[in-house]
Structure formats: C-alpha cells, structure tokens
C-alpha cells in the first residue's frame, strides 16, 4: 500500500479522555519518526457499536463524514489509533464499495475510492518498519519481558482488516523486538478482553481480562503492550477489579505500543502520558541515563 508521509489523523473520542496518553504518544512518536499527522478538522464520533445497533447505515454515515473530511483536504490515508473507530471507518468504506449511491446520498457527496483507513500499528509497521525503527532507537529496552496483546479488531476479520494474520499477528511483536524488548509467545494475542461488556457486565470483563493478565504473569511478562483504548481500560483501569474478583495481585502495567516505542526513542515522559497509567510504570521502564555527548 503506497503511503505518503502526510496522513490524516482521526483520534476518536476515547483519545480525548480516557485514552489521552494514546493520543499524545501517537503524535509524539509519529513526529519523531518523520510522519506528519494532519488532524481532521471538526471530526465527529464514528458511532461505534451503538450506531450499528440501530442501523448499519447510521454507522457508515457517521464514520463516512470523517472520511469525507480527509477527502476535502486531499489526503487518502486516514490513520486512527483506535481499533473500534477503525472498524467503523472500514465499515463505511465497505458500504461505499457495495452501495456507493446510497452512501453518497446519505453523506450528500460521493466518497472517493482512493480514501482508505489504517491503524497506527499498520502505519508504523509499513511506513517505518522494524528495521528502520531499530536504527533510530536511542534507549533500547535491554530485554524487558513483555507480551503483545492485539485484541479482537486489529486483524479481524481478515477481509476487513487486510493486515497481518488474523490468528497469530506478529507486527507488534516485531516492532517491540526492534526496540529491545523480549517478546513472549503470548497464546492469547487475539482473545477477547470482554470489550464493551465492561459497562453492563463487569464480571465478564473480570473473567476474560483476568485470563489475559494471568497468562501474561505465567509467561514472566513485566508489562503488557496494547493498541486499543478499550483493551487498555479493561486491563489497566479495571485491573484492581480483576484482582479482587480473582483474589490475586498482578501489578502488571499496560502500555500503549506508542508509549513503549516513544520511551526507546528517548521522548520525554510527559509527551508519552506515562503518568496517566493507573497501574504505575515505575520500576518497569528502564532508567534512561542523561544524554551522552554525541559521539556517533
């Protein structure tokens, strides 16, 4: 997929609030790696699952309005860090391909065939890649043991995601290895964390997220690395609830991928929102020595 260095940026509502650290770290990492993010002007909520509950066309229209905003500023690639938003944007693209007239009528304008949507993981993997990333790392992790957790939607279903492997994705593994992490072979990479049932059935989240944290601990991981705001909330914000339900203590910090990469690139902690994590990162992230006089 041809990618320009300038991409349209759709943060989504979570990244303005509960996942604010995903927003700041995404912007910081992309800036450091020479990718220009152009935030869509006046973007709106993608509709998420409530819109598709009422009508798939409502979902396609709400998400489609954002794709139109990208088209107006002549950007074909829309990047969003949130897999939930990505699902909605891709749903709108699918509707554009299957029923172009119906979508154009609902939106008031046709949506160009060139516009497409990708995740921040795909952007970093395809535009930068593990090899180039490893060459710009300033503070490699020195073998920090982590598990990568992709969640449900980044690679599923394959016909929609069109990225990596739906059962055993490896893109995040490769990027984490590139910054010096030791990546355990995590068998629950794409098992569900409980998703939106956090709102109505927190017992389900406790069971499903508990299983993920338990496996991470068994594998000796010091941290989990995720790419989804909902997964992060279930595993980090609700970790104390999970611990209570299971009668155990995990104390496993749950980082966004962009926070981990940013740390290795030497970006300041406040640009990565590390203080926003509920389970503290203290003692897990290696100390970064003061910058040496540049010998290289």
Partner 1 sequence: MKNGQNLLRIQEHHDPAFVRRVEQQSAQKVSHCYQCGNCTASCAFTDDYDFPVNQIMRLIQLGRKETVLSSRAIWLCGQCQACTVRCPCTIDVARVMATLRSMALESGCVADKNLRRFADEFLRSVSLFGRVFEAGLLAAYKLRSGSVLSDLELAPALFKKGKLRFVPHRIGGRRDVADLVKRFSDTL
Task: Please report whether residue 97 would count as binding partner 1 according to CB under 8 A.
Answer: no
The answer to whether 12 touches 84, Cβ cutoff 8 Å, is: yes
Residue 2 CA from chain centroid, whole number: 21
Task: Please report whether residue 229 would count as binding partner 1 according to CB under 8 A.
Answer: no
Structure tokens at 83: 């897999």
What are the φ and ψ backbone dihedral angles of 140, each rounded to 5 degrees?
Answer: -65, 155
Task: Please report whether residue 199 would count as binding partner 1 according to CB under 8 A.
Answer: yes
DSSP string for residues in 27-85: HHHHHHTTPEEEEPTT-----HHHHHHH-HHHHHHHHHHHHHHHHHTT--EEEES-HHH
Site for partner 1 in 19-38 (CB under 8 A): 20
Residue whose token pair is 């041809």: 2
Q: Looking at 30-38, 199-207, 259-267, 288-296, which segment touches partner 1 (CB under 8 A)? A: 199-207
Structure tokens at 215: 């496996």
Nearer residue to partner 1 within complex by CB, 118 or 195: 195
**Shortest Å, Cβ 53 to partner 1:** 5
Q: Is 189 exposed, middle or buried (0-12, 13-18, 19+ CB in 10 A)?
A: buried
| The only residue of 4, 44, 248, 270 in contact with partner 1, by rule CB under 8 A | 44
**Shortest Å, Cβ 194 to partner 1:** 7
| The only residue of 74, 109, 114, 201 in contact with partner 1, by rule CB under 8 A | 201
Task: Please report whether residue 61 would count as binding partner 1 according to CB under 8 A.
Answer: yes
**Shortest Å, Cβ 207 to partner 1:** 8
| The only residue of 3, 104, 219, 240 in contact with partner 1, by rule CB under 8 A | 240
Structure tokens at 255: 């980082």
3-class DSSP state of 127: helix
Structure tokens at 108: 């008031």
Q: Which residues bind partner 1 (CB under 8 A)?
A: 13-14, 16-18, 20, 42-45, 47-55, 57-58, 61-62, 65, 106, 152-153, 156-158, 166-167, 190-192, 194-197, 199-202, 204, 207-208, 237-238, 240-241, 275-276, 278
């Amino acid at each position: 997929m041809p990618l320009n260095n300038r991409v349209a940026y759709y943060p989504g509502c979570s990244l303005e609030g509960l996942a604010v650290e995903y927003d700041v770290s995404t912007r910081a990492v992309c800036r450091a790696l020479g990718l220009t993010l152009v935030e869509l002007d006046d973007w709106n909520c993608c509709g998420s699952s409530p819109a598709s509950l009422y009508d798939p066309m409502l979902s396609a229209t709400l998400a489609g309005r954002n794709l139109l905003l990208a088209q107006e500023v002549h950007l074909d690639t829309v990047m969003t860090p949130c897999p939930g938003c990505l699902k909605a944007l891709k749903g709108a693209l699918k509707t554009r391909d299957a029923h172009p007239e119906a979508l154009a009528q609902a939106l008031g304008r046709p949506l160009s065939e060139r516009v497409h949507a990708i995740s921040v993981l795909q952007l970093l993997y395809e535009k930068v890649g593990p090899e180039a990333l490893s060459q710009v790392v300033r503070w490699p992790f020195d073998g920090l043991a982590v598990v990568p957790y992709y969640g449900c939607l980044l690679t599923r279903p394959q016909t929609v995601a069109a990225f990596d492997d739906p059962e055993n994705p490896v893109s995040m593994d490769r990027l984490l290895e590139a910054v010096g992490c030791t990546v355990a072979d995590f068998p629950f990479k794409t098992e569900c964390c409980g998703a939106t049932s956090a709102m109505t059935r927190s017992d389900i989240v406790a069971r499903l997220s508990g299983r993920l944290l338990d496996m991470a601990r068994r594998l000796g991981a010091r941290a989990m690395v995720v790419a989804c705001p909902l997964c992060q909330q279930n595993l980090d914000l609700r970790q104390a609830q999970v611990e209570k339900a299971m009668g155990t203590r995990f104390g496993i910090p749950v980082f966004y991928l962009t926070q981990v990469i940013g740390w290795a690139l030497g970006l300041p902690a406040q640009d990565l929102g590390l203080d926003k994590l509920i389970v503290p990162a203290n003692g897990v992230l290696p100390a970064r020595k003061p910058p040496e006089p540049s010998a290289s």
